[in-house]
Amino acid sequence: MIKGYQNLHTHTTYCDGKMPAEDMIKAAIRMGGGSIGFSEHSYVTFDEEYSMKLDDIPSYISEISTLKEKYKGTIDVYLGLEIDYFTDEIPNGLEYIIGTAHHVEKDGHYITIDGYAEHLANMNEKHFNGDYYSMAELYYETVSGVVKKTDADIVGHFDLIAKNNVNGSMFDEMHPRYIKAALGAMDQVLADCKIFEVNTGAMFRRGSLTPYPSAFLLKELQKRGGEVILSSDSHTAESLYYKFDEMVELIKSCGFTYIKRFTGDGFVDEKL
């Protein structure tokens, strides 16, 4: 059974997180967490607002490595990075990589998928003539190459495009075109990486009713032999292990009997 939750998807003030790394570690200890992993947003040339600066990467690696030793025996601390599909260089010295796609490229333009609903609607109208399924198809086409591009150990927020689609306000997630695009990407990703995060980030920050991936996609992932790991995509201490108890029940209802946990020796199975 699970002994102290783990969250490997944690952001700090090195990118768009709200707290320094050590404060996040202290919060994880107070909350009874079993371990914490840091995974700042990798540098993307055309979107520097949320990503870590190139010049900060050595300091980030050094600080997390120092904190790892400082808190050894109290809580396990791991050094990772959230590598975006459009990142050009991957630094050395990482213990794990979360591979993600936050943008698509269309007609020479980089379109942010990870924005607010109004922005997404405007971009859809401007670049896809109002056809959300065309946007979804391009998004999942991008996602399908994430692991090969980033060498990811974990697939992050697989269906990020549904972030603002509360109650199907933008598109139908059961539409044949959407399902075909999503499952096609899933099959391609699974050929290179089996572990998908069950990410509660949008549930905490946007009031979303479902994690990434959705329950439907989680069931399809289980059928295809995929594996899952809990994540909160945390930017604040309060969200470190957000709704993990509920996610365990959801995962079990989708047919999973274990989750993955990262250790110094790699990933292990943890029975539910």
pLDDT of residue 201: 95
pLDDT digits (tens, 9 = 90+) for 238-263: 999 999 999 999 999 999 999 999 99
Helix (H/G/I), strand (E/B), else coil: 198: strand
pLDDT of residue 209: 86
CATH number assigned to the domain comprising residue 265: 3.20.20.140
Query: Is 88 within a domain?
Result: yes
Query: Is 1 within a domain?
Result: no
Q: What residue numbers bound the domain in which 232 lies? A: 6-271
pTM of the model: 0.97
pLDDT of residue 233: 97
Cα three-residue angle 37-164-126, rounded to 5 degrees: 120
pLDDT digits (tens, 9 = 90+) for 16-72: 999 999 999 999 999 999 999 999 999 999 988 889 999 999 999 999 999 999 999
Domain count within the chain = 1
